[in-house]
Amino acid sequence: SNVNATDPQVNQAVLFIEREMDASNGFDWGFRVESGFGTDLLWAQSWNDQSFDWNAGKGDYNWALSALYATVGYKNLSVKVGKFGTLMGYESFQSTGKFFVSHAYQYGIEPLSTTGILAEYALGSNVTLLAGYSMGNDTWENRFGDSQIIGGVTADLTDKLSLSYMFNVGYEYDLTGNRASMNRLPNGFGGEAGAKKERIDNYYQTFVVNYQLTDRLAYALYSNYFQSEAKGYGHGKSYGVANYLTYKLSDKWEAGFRFEWMRDELRDGSEGADGQDYYEYTLGLKWSPLKHLTVLGEVRYDQAYKDSDGNNNIFDGGRHAEQFGGGISAIISF
């Protein structure tokens, strides 16, 4: 969480009700209702149209209905309808799916959820096609008329090598002062409060490669590209690459390393603006002493630079372009 990062806190307390679908032998159905409370749950709210669970919380702690969807399927085909996790990205929002305490920079330019319909079709056992329609990112009521096509493909090329490509393309409307910025980190379009509604054309893509180097050593490459254009605001784009190495030390211990570079560019009209580069190097340990208990720990080093004068002093209250940090997190599942 980016909320009071130096204080102990409850990031996520999540409950869900689920019926898992298994359509391998014929027709089946399922659903998931997931709700949570904590400092992370601000990002899981329907904050892009200020509907439903927006502003449900007090201070640093917020509530969100992070998933509400139903699925139906028949053999190789399944269809999901409702609010569900975005196709973009690689790192998990749920604590139970995380390896590192912190997230990569690229995680901040992804939507977290989408509301719409998504179809998945398995071409044999190695390739899956995805296609659907979204009524907007991090929304519920779609008050602004957002419209996007989502989809992608996953492929298991060998027993050890897999890849995926996902995309999200369409438009959203921004009513500045009443709606959160689409591009959360590090830059987003903005303007004066009460500015007239503007159409923002967005394109997202995520490319992921997973390769099992040995029985204990695994590698992953994760790359995001995001481009946005809005009349009167200018245009911007963010893109980068993150590399992950994880090594299984024993049944209870795993070690990991993440190295990432991300480039952020924002252009305002014809004048242009500084491009910015972000780097992070993270060492992590994952300890699973009990079946339902996992402890994550990490140390992290960050750098940030601008094209114009080099240093981008965004750390330590605007005093430094570099910083060391770390964190520890305990995850209890039941």
CB 139 within 8 A of CB 49: yes
Tokens 């993440």, residue?
258
Taking the C-alpha atoms of residue 274 and residue 265, their distance in angstroms, rounded to an integer, is 7
- List the pLDDT tens digit at each of the 334 positions of the chain: 456 677 788 999 999 999 999 998 899 999 999 999 999 888 888 877 777 887 788 788 999 999 999 999 999 999 999 999 999 999 999 999 999 999 999 998 888 999 999 999 999 889 999 999 999 888 888 877 889 999 999 999 999 999 999 999 998 876 544 443 443 333 344 443 334 467 888 899 999 999 999 999 999 999 999 988 876 656 788 999 999 999 999 999 999 999 999 998 865 444 456 688 999 999 999 999 999 999 999 999 999 998 878 888 888 878 888 999 999 999 999 8
Please report the pLDDT score of residue 180 as a whole number: 39
Pairing of strands 161-174, 147-156: antiparallel
**Predicted pLDDT at 59:** 81
Tokens 């053999």 -> residue: 75
Q: Are 35 and 15 in contact (CB under 8 A)?
A: yes
By the 10 Å C-beta count (0-12 exposed, 13-18 middle, 19+ buried), 133 is classed as: middle
Going along the chain, which residue ranges are E strands?
13-19, 27-38, 57-58, 61-74, 77-85, 113-123, 127-137, 147-156, 161-174, 198-212, 217-230, 234-248, 253-267, 275-290, 293-306, 310-311, 322-332
CA distance 312 to 289: 41
The alpha carbon of residue 86 and the mean position of all alpha carbons in its chain are separated, in whole angstroms, by 7
Residue type for 264, please? D
**Locate tokens 């009167």: which residue?**
232
DSSP string, 76-133: TEEEEEEEEE-S--SS-SSGGG-SSSS--GGGGGS-SEEEEEEEEEEETTTEEEEEEE
Question: Do 252 and 236 touch, CB atoms closer than 8 A?
Answer: no
Amino acid at 91: E
Give the whole-angstrom CA distance, residue 196 versus residue 86: 28
Rounded Cα distance, 220 and 134, in Å: 28
The pair of three-digit structure tokens given for residue 14, joined into one six-digit string: 């999540």
pLDDT value, residue 54: 78
Q: Give the pLDDT confidence score for residue 84 in this predicted structure.
A: 95
Question: Cα(105)–Cα(291) distance, rounded to whole angstroms?
Answer: 31
CA distance 179 to 50: 7
pTM of the predicted model as reported, rounded to 2 decimal places: 0.87
